[in-house]
Amino acid sequence: MDHETARRGVLDAIPLLASKRSEKKVIAALWEMGYDRAAAEQLTLLVPSALAWPLCRRAGLRNFPDHFVVSDDRGREIRVPVADLHYFTAALRLGIDTFENGWLEEVPRRVYEQVVRRSAELDAVGKTLEQGGDLSGSTMQALMIYVKDAEAFVRSGSVG
């Protein structure tokens, strides 16, 4: 998958993620748009995290994981490099561009804020700050992602 295809997927997912739909309903809507289940899961689970990373950096985090751990109900765990997940890297680039160049017409501030509210990372950052914690120079641990089929999740939208 090339970067532009991944970016289009991210832009397809963002309005769905900004809605009040459950993760299952977002995945179903993406599936109805023609994405396979694993791609729909990647878009649903990774886009909020990727868009939140620039906010986490702004809050003081300096070290981010180079991988995710993908697990499924069969007990499989796969360590997948962040750089190998095109949907994640496309969303991260979009998030960085937003912070460097301002809000995009395709992703206005209100929509961006609604999507990042789904991020486990931003939730943890918010809780730490609310409790008076200091994130300066902190390191984020790898996100654990639970899906139906870990191998399919990793294959869909991966580099190579």
pLDDT digits (tens, 9 = 90+) for 119-143: 988 888 888 888 888 888 788 888 8
Segment 20-46 shows an average pLDDT of 95
The average confidence (pLDDT) of the chain is 90
- Other residues' Cβ atoms within 10 Å of the Cβ of residue 57: 18
Q: How many domains does the chain have?
A: 1
- Position 158 scores a pLDDT of 53
Q: What is the pTM of this model?
A: 0.89
pLDDT value at 157 more than 70: no
- Expressed as residue numbers, the domain containing 118 is 3-157
64-86: buried (b, 16+ CB within 10 Å) or exposed (e) per residue? Answer: eeeebbbbbeeeeebebebeebb
Q: Which residues have CB under 8 Å from 70's CB, separation 6+?
A: 77, 78, 79, 80, 145, 147, 150, 153, 154
Quote the CA–CA distance of 91 and 46 in Å, as a whole number: 8
Return the DSSP state at 147: E
Q: Which residues have CB under 8 Å from 42's CB, separation 6+?
A: 85, 87, 88, 153, 156, 157
Quote the CA–CA distance of 160 and 158 in Å, as a whole number: 6
